[in-house]
Structure 1
Amino acid sequence: MTLLELLQLIQKHLKLVVITPLACAFLAAAVSFGFLPDTYTATTSMYVLAKGENAQGSVSNSDLAASQMITNDVASLIKSDRVLKDTATALNMNSLVDYDITVKSETTTRVLSVSVEGEDAQSTAIIANGLAKNVSSVAQEVMSIQSINVIDEAATPEQPSGPNRPMYVLVAFLAGLFLAVAIVVLRDMMNTKVRGADDVEELLNVPVIGRIPTMKGGE
């Protein structure tokens, strides 16, 4: 099928091609604005100070590469069951399963950032700061960590971070457009009726040598 034929098909079924993506976009908007709650994200950043280093972070007993490996271990430790349970217990919570916890650790620095996403803005900040406090205690106990110093404490977010409702609507619109075009093409491929001289030539593999025009009034 050529592009011109596709455009002709779309023009022929223009109503379907227009209504389907609009309906999908409207449905996505109704769901995202009517049923998806706002979520908030609070972030805290920390600096990992290994044993043998002073408060300014100068290296004495271990090189920078080893310190960065320790930082990566701390990043994994933050999401361990022990740290999560200790933080929940300290905050008088049953668990933290309702919150999405993300830990970022760059390979060229010993700075960690912990982001907590949830439906309650104040709780996200409290949990983020609680994780930073508890991971410091656990890391000093089980690893070669002198301390984990908080650089920026998590503040209560004032604006929601999600969901990205405009993106959902746009994706639904594009998906509806793709679906409509696919339906049009599929219906055309399944239509086996002879619709013109070109179809006759293709089916019989013989050229058309004449055409009989349609006469009005049976003449």
Structure 2
Amino acid sequence: MTLLELLDLMKKRIKLVIGLPIVCALLIGVYSFMFMPDTYTATTSMYVLTNQEQSAGNLSTDLSASQMVANDVTTLLKSNRVRKATADDLGLKSLKDFEIEVTSATTSRVIELSVTGTEPELVAKVANSIAENVAAISQDVMKVEAVNIIDAALAPVAPSGPSRPLYVAVAFMGGLFMAVAIIVVADMLNTKVRTADEAEEILGIPVIGRIPVVKGGR
């Protein structure tokens, strides 16, 4: 099937091509606005100071080793021990309802921790509690003397998600793709002879005459 043939089929079924994407977009739009709760993200940042740097009093000493320690602290932030300690401190069963993201650049000892949930006050408490627990646990496990909190997490005033317009746009494009797929499949399953060229190809003989279709005639 050529592109021109596909466009011709789409023109013949223009209602399906327009209607299905609109219906899909409306359904996802209603669901996202009515049933998907707003989510909020709180962020805190930490700076890892190694034991060697504290004793020497020189922040540029053994930078690569410090970055390795920062990577270890990043891994520790994702550990079950830190999450369990945080849940216990806040009286929660677990942190499974929160999305926790940790980012750390390879050339920096600054670690950023982001916590996303449905309650703005609670996500800030979770982020700050994780930072406090990782500072204590890192000292116990890795003998890191200081995981300093640069900026404590504040309760967000505006939701960070969900991205409802994006969902609606994706649903619209998905509906359009479904409409095209339905048209193509229906055309492939249609075994009717629709043109003189198809008749000649199937029968192997030329068409020598045609009977016109007269609508409304007798």
Under a length normalisation based on structure 1, what TM-score does the superposition of the two structures give? 0.92
Structure 2 residue identity aligned to 1:184: I
SS in 2 for 1:58: coil
Q: CA deviation at 1:115?
A: 0.4
Partner SS state of residue 101, structure 2: strand
Task: Show CA shifts across 1:69-101 (max 9, x none).
Answer: 211111110121111111111222222111111
SS in 1 for 2:52: coil
Partner of 1:91: 90
SS in structure 2 of the partner of residue 54 of structure 1: helix
Distance 1:15 1:51, change over 3 A: same
**Structure 2 residue corresponding to 1:214, chosen from 187, 207, 212:** 212
**What is the aligned partner in structure 2 of residue 45 from structure 1?**
45
Aligned CA distance change for structure 1 residues 198 and 50 (closer, same or farther; 3 Å): same
Describe how 1:65-84 pairs up with structure 2 within 5 A. Answer: 65-84=64-83
1:10 aligned partner, one-letter code = M
Deviations 1:110-152 (A, max 9, x none): 1100000000000001110111111000001111412101111
Which AA in structure 2 matches 1:187? A
- Give 1:205 shift: 4.2
Matched length: 215
Tell me the equivalent position of 2:59.
58
- Structure 1, unmatched stretches of 5+, are none
For 1:28, the equivalent position in structure 2 comes to 28
Paired position in structure 1 for 2:137: 138
Following superposition, the deviation at residue 182 of structure 1 comes to: 0.4
Query: Which residue does the alignment assign to 1:125?
Result: 124
User: 2:19 & 2:94 partners in 1: Cα distance?
Assistant: 45
Residues 116 and 128, structure 1, Cα contact 8 Å, conserved in 2: yes
Query: Residue 145 of structure 2: SS of its match in structure 1?
Result: strand
Matched residue, 1:6: 6
Aligned equivalents of 2:130 and 2:39: distance in 1? 19
Report if aligned partners of 2:37, 2:118 keep a CA contact under 8 Å in 1: yes
Query: CA shift at 1:195, angstroms?
Result: 0.4
Output the amino acid matched with 1:212: R
- Structure 2: gaps spanning 5 or more residues: none
Residue number in structure 2 paired with 1:160? 159
C-alpha offsets along residues 33-81 of structure 1, whole Å, 9 cap, x if unaligned? Answer: 0100000000000011111113976143xx2222212111111101211
Looking at structure 1, the residues matched to 10 and 191 of structure 2 have their Cα atoms a distance apart, in angstroms, of 19
- For residues 137 and 23 of structure 1, the distance between their equivalents in structure 2, rounded to whole angstroms, comes to 53
- Tell me if structure 1 keeps the 8 A contact 2:53–2:59: yes
In the alignment, the residues of structure 1 paired with residue 119 and residue 88 of structure 2 have an alpha-carbon distance, to the nearest angstrom, of 18
**Runs of 4+ displaced beyond 6 Å:** none
Tell me if structure 2 keeps the 8 A contact 1:26–1:169: yes
8 Å CA contact 1:52–1:59 kept in 2: the answer is: no
Match of 1:145, SS? Answer: coil
TM-score normalised by structure 2 residue count: 0.93
1:113 — aligned with what?
112
